[in-house]
Chain A
Amino acid sequence: MLFNEYYSEYYACVSEIINEALDGTLTEARLIDITRRKGFAESVLTIPEHLKDGTWPLITKDFGTPLHHYPIHPETLLQKR
């Protein structure tokens, strides 16, 4: 399918936020900054809030992450073809 959340700009944005968390450099300001740069005009109203309140349990309260590896994005069959 051509239209799929796997290719979503939100996923790419959260991926970069997790990268920063794994590097130990994520802060509130960086979270907002990455969202402004990678997301859409109003993404800053959604993404930081969902990550901070645990709706998307991917960033801890101290701006760490439960993930162990930098996020990967394996190619789909659509991309490989």
Chain B
Amino acid sequence: MAYSELIKNFEKIRSYMRDFYIYGFKGRDEFNTRSSRIYDDEYRRVKGWLEGYIDSYYNESGKKVFISIDSRAIFHNPLYVAFKTKSFTDWDITLHFFLLDILADGPATAKDCLTRITEEYLKDFPAEFPDEGTVRNKLKEYEKMGVLVSRKEGRNVVYAIAEGLENLPAWRDAIHFFSETMPLGVIGTYFPQGVESAFEFKHQYLFGALDSEILYDLAECMRENRWVEITIFSRRKKQELRHTIFPIRFYLSTQTGRQYVLGYHDRHHKLMFFRLDGIRRLKALDVESRPEQYEALWEDFDRHLWGISTGTHALDHLEMLIHVEPDEYFIVERLQREKRHGTVEQVDDSTWKFTADVYDAGEMMPWVRTFIGRIDRLECSNRFFLERLRDDFAAMRRMYGGDGHAV
């Protein structure tokens, strides 16, 4: 098949872009493809879409290609461009412009549209004419998308352009902000971009954009209270695995940028997290007749979550005494803001206690470390947590402790 910049199926290019961007360690001969010609085509496509953002380096095993983006130097996530590359037929694009042009004059039936297309729009072209079925299908497709509306007049169906959003330019800043900060932000880039965005971002997680289609399909299933079958590729077992879950919530990490779906697993009978970037595809299944039982399960489960680790044993109990001077109330405010499901209480004039019962105290380690220098006492029922912290302190002492070789 002749090469085209456009693609039919997003999932295929998604896996290539993820391997280029997130890993960037693979060379041409490490791709699991039927032929190197396929690698060359996909590389050519991604390079064409992301011109200026592709870089490469050489090591002992050859050339490695990766996507290189400085989030401080861009106004939009460049990965969104992949969502604007769907292939189409010649009639798709032709009828898109013809039908919207005809309906701009006023409502019309499919037959009216066909008459105008053949007698007026195509009169200067040697092109073949579309049949009425093709025109009707395109009108129905656009009605389903919300672009057109229809009404019955006797035996005829009359189509018209649907009402647009009011005062769209006034929403420009909100749309720009949404498109770069929220899940499914790619939808914001479907609006006319017009002027440059007023926003720049110092820290931005870009690669989550590639999982937008999965996130959208899951969100639709959640809206309809449906079970889903997700297909995941296990790198450890080197095979695809299928799981049937009732999706309940999305979890988005501001620390790592990773996106997860939490769902009730029908075979393991428990709540489990799945990374969205690991999900290859999903299939909507039946509607759950009693979704409220899973909502209640989630409320109970969420009470002891710190991140996404559900642990393997009883809850870890952690207590931390923090020293706070009278003019350092901002530390208390920070504890209140970041405590998640923990509690914060004052012990005395200069001491505050943070308490939490979580599935896995190990997830709290990076956060606990930010209070080093203020911790009067730290207790945890998970001895591995305390041992790890002590080992870290010992390593720091060796590095900075001022022995004879210290710099």
Contact = CB atoms under 8 A, between A and B. Distances in A.
Interface of A: 2-12, 14-15, 18, 40-43, 46, 50, 54-58, 60-61, 66-69, 71-80
Please provide the 7 A-B residue pairs with the shortest distance between their CB atoms, ordered closest to farther. A77-B146, A41-B48, A5-B88, A57-B125, A9-B84, A5-B86, A66-B121
14 contacts: A2-B213, A4-B86, A8-B84, A8-B88, A15-B97, A41-B49, A54-B125, A56-B93, A60-B125, A61-B124, A73-B192, A77-B145, A79-B190, A80-B165
Contacts, number: 131
A61 B126 CA distance: 12
B96 interface: yes
Nearest to A46: B5
B164 A75 contact: yes
Nearest to B146: A77
A59 to B, nearest CB: 10
A52 to B, nearest CB: 12
Interface in B156-204: 161-162, 164-165, 168, 184, 186-187, 190-192
Given A40-B81, A61-B124, 7 more contacts: A4-B86, A7-B190, A9-B84, A68-B104, A69-B105, A75-B164, A77-B146
A70 to B, nearest CB: 9
Contact of A42 (B5, B10, B146): B5
Interface string B136-164: 00000000011110000000000001101
Interface of B: 4-6, 10, 44, 47-49, 51, 81, 83-88, 90, 92-94, 96-98, 100-101, 104-105, 120-127, 145-148, 161-162, 164-165, 168, 184, 186-187, 190-192, 212-213, 216
B101 A71 contact: yes
Contacts of B162: 74
Contacts of B104: 68-69, 72
A79 B187 CA distance: 6
Contacts of B216: 2
A3 B213 contact: yes
Nearest to B81: A9
A61 to B, nearest CB: 8
B12 to A, nearest CB: 12
Contacts of A50: 90
Contacts of A9: 81, 84-85
A51 to B, nearest CB: 10
Given A54-B127, A57-B125, A43 B5 contact: yes
B5 A68 contact: no
A4 B145 CA distance: 10
Given A2-B187, A2-B212, A41-B51, A57 B127 contact: yes
A78 B260 CA distance: 22
